[in-house]
Amino acid sequence: MTQNEFLNIVMPFKDKVFRLAKRLLVSTEEAEDATQEVLLKLWRNKGKIGEYKNVEAFSMTMTKNFCFDKLKSKQAQNLKIVHSNYEEKNTPLQKQVELNDSVSWVERIIQELPEQQRMIIQLRDIEEYDFDEISKMLSMNNTAVRVALSRARKTIRERLTNTHNYGIK
């Protein structure tokens, strides 16, 4: 496989790899390192890339595993899961403040979700993978992914509603 062929396969999803790594590792530098490491592993095994049915899904699984290993290592004691790639432009200041506050609340709520639900929210709602791809990446059956996603969304919705209603129902 030539370098150009490799780049044509890998480059379309490299940003997704980075976003997943950023979601898991928080630090931009750590996420860049993880992305580079995953791409380097793919390059080293470029001869085997044709064996994979879905290189993108395989890369996302590699990224997830690499980040989990990094989180388990001693140097990653203080890392946490956060989502911060939402940005609204050209809105009035008051609306922008409200949106930032809502995004901040959603980030906090997502942080409190169980690890599996956090991953599924990231892969489905942010990276827009379909259920089959997510089930392969996380080694879960399709129904379990749907149930976990539904529960995660319900939890986010309920907590956000309570927050905006100041606990008043």
Q: For tokens 């395989």, name the residue.
A: 58
Just give the CATH number of 3-76: 1.10.1740.10
Task: Kindly give the parts of the chain with pLDDT less than 70.
Answer: 1, 74-91, 93-96, 98-100, 164-169
Query: How far is 157 from 151, CA to CA, in rounded Å?
Result: 10
At 146, list the tokens: 């749907």
Every domain of the chain and the residues it spans: 3-76, 93-164
Looking at residue 151, what is its pLDDT? 94
Looking at residue 83, what is its pLDDT? 44
pTM for this model (two decimals)? 0.54
Q: 132 vs 41, 50, 160, CA distance in Å?
A: 24, 20, 29
Looking at residue 84, what is its pLDDT? 46
Query: How far is 71 from 74, CA to CA, in rounded Å?
Result: 8
Looking at residue 158, what is its pLDDT? 87
Residue range 93-164 in CATH 1.10.10.10 = yes
Looking at residue 164, what is its pLDDT? 66
